[in-house]
Amino acid sequence: MLDRFPPEICDHIFEFACRDTGFTGCSLSLVSKYIQHTAAPTRYLSVALTSHAQILAFARLVENSEALFHTKYLYLNGYLDEEAMDKIENAVYVAATQASVQYRELHKQLPAGDERLDEAKAVLDREGAKARAEMVEFGREVAIAVEKILRRVASSVEVLYISLNEKAAKAMENTLSLPHLRDLTTRGGFPLHPNNKNVPVVEPTNSLLHLHAVETFDQWAWTGDYFRNGISYLAPSLTHLRLSDLRTDDGTLEYLESSLGSSTVLKNGITLLPSTLELVVLKPTVEPPPYVGCSCSDDTPQYYDMIKFGRRLRDRDHRVVMLHADKVASADDAYLHEWMDKVNGMACRWDTGNEDIAPAED
């Protein structure tokens, strides 16, 4: 039936139909040659990539296809939790671990300078270097794929969710331009530059109004680094900023205080946030369980110090809203649902209903 519709009508229909993870656009290309042709401008209107494999596959597609990629909504989730990263590293380091065990055993049995001990040490060094290089390549492969995708959709992308594991985030070194980006949610340190904390990897973007930075356990850079010319450089017209899953008082909120102009001195290269800023939302990560063990390794007091600092900052600056931590950690798909809301036309909504209004010194 759609084959009988003029292309202008089909285009209008497809623009609404293709607002999902990308499934509808791919399905339309299988209907008929006419539908495949008329759906081309909107086929990739919204794309959600939820694994390393999907990111790598889509990167190959954008590199080798002549299709139109007018992607406005892009979801890139290449994040791996601690358990998943441990499995990968354990697999990569099998030979190095075996070499380490063999070297320790020989070290107990043989005198220093023994040729067999020296040979075992050489094997250990060689296998360790090989494993480290493989982990670097693991991150680099994903980083290259992400860069290819972002460059291909750079002229159209407006809403971006990007979550990268530590290895991939540290390999994002090349400058990108996303001139129409207006909403960015990031986990893992993007777009901070791994070698230059003063200049992000994304060029200044005047259209970027909403920025949501989510801390992760293995983040290669401190969240506070966003205030070292990161945000003010990247988003000179920013209106809404959110920091989520804040873990300990590592100086992030002190840097935020300085960048808001609430402190008399700008510390450690911190720059003022844009004067356009209207709202700053702070949300701590899930409250840690009671610590058992040596108090010298207990980070729990730092967590509560961070909350107290956030409350004081809230009381001093009307733009700051402090939220209670969730009782349990949010599932990964919570961010996918938030992204899907934006795909379906909802304005950026950060739930501030669970506001922390407790006195600063409680």
User: Among 59-63, 126-130, 324-328, which is the least confidently predicted range?
Assistant: 324-328
Which two structure tokens, joined as six digits, stand for 165?
A: 């594991």
Q: What is the mean pLDDT of the chain?
A: 84
Per-domain residue ranges of the chain: 1-43, 85-135, 173-343
Mean pLDDT of 53-61: 94
Number of H helices, E strands in the chain: 12, 8
Over residues 14-49, the pLDDT tens digits come to 565 556 666 665 655 655 565 555 555 567 888 999
Q: What is the pLDDT of residue 162?
A: 96
User: Among 173-182, 195-204, 343-352, which is the least confidently predicted range?
Assistant: 343-352
Asked if residue 346 lies in contact with residue 317, where contact means CB atoms within 8 angstroms, the answer is no
Backbone φ and ψ for 323, nearest 5 degrees, come out as -105, 155
Asked if residue 52 lies in contact with residue 84, where contact means CB atoms within 8 angstroms, the answer is no
Mean pLDDT of 312-337: 86
Q: What is the pLDDT of residue 161?
A: 96
Is residue 361 very low, low, confident or very high in pLDDT (cuts 50, 70, 90)?
A: confident
Residue type at 264?
Answer: T
Q: What is the pLDDT of residue 312?
A: 92
The side-by-side arrangement of strands in the sheet containing 320-322 is 46-49, 73-78, 159-164, 183-187, 210-214, 240-246, 279-284, 320-322
State whether residue 288 is helix, strand or coil: coil
Asked if residue 192 lies in contact with residue 225, where contact means CB atoms within 8 angstroms, the answer is yes
Q: What is the pLDDT of residue 18?
A: 58
Task: Name the more confident of 113 and 181.
Answer: 181
pLDDT at 206 over 90: yes
Asked if residue 80 lies in contact with residue 332, where contact means CB atoms within 8 angstroms, the answer is no
DSSP string, 203-265: PP-TT--EEEEE--TT-SS-GGGGGTTHHHHH-TT--EEEEEEE-S-SSHHHHHHHHTT-SSS
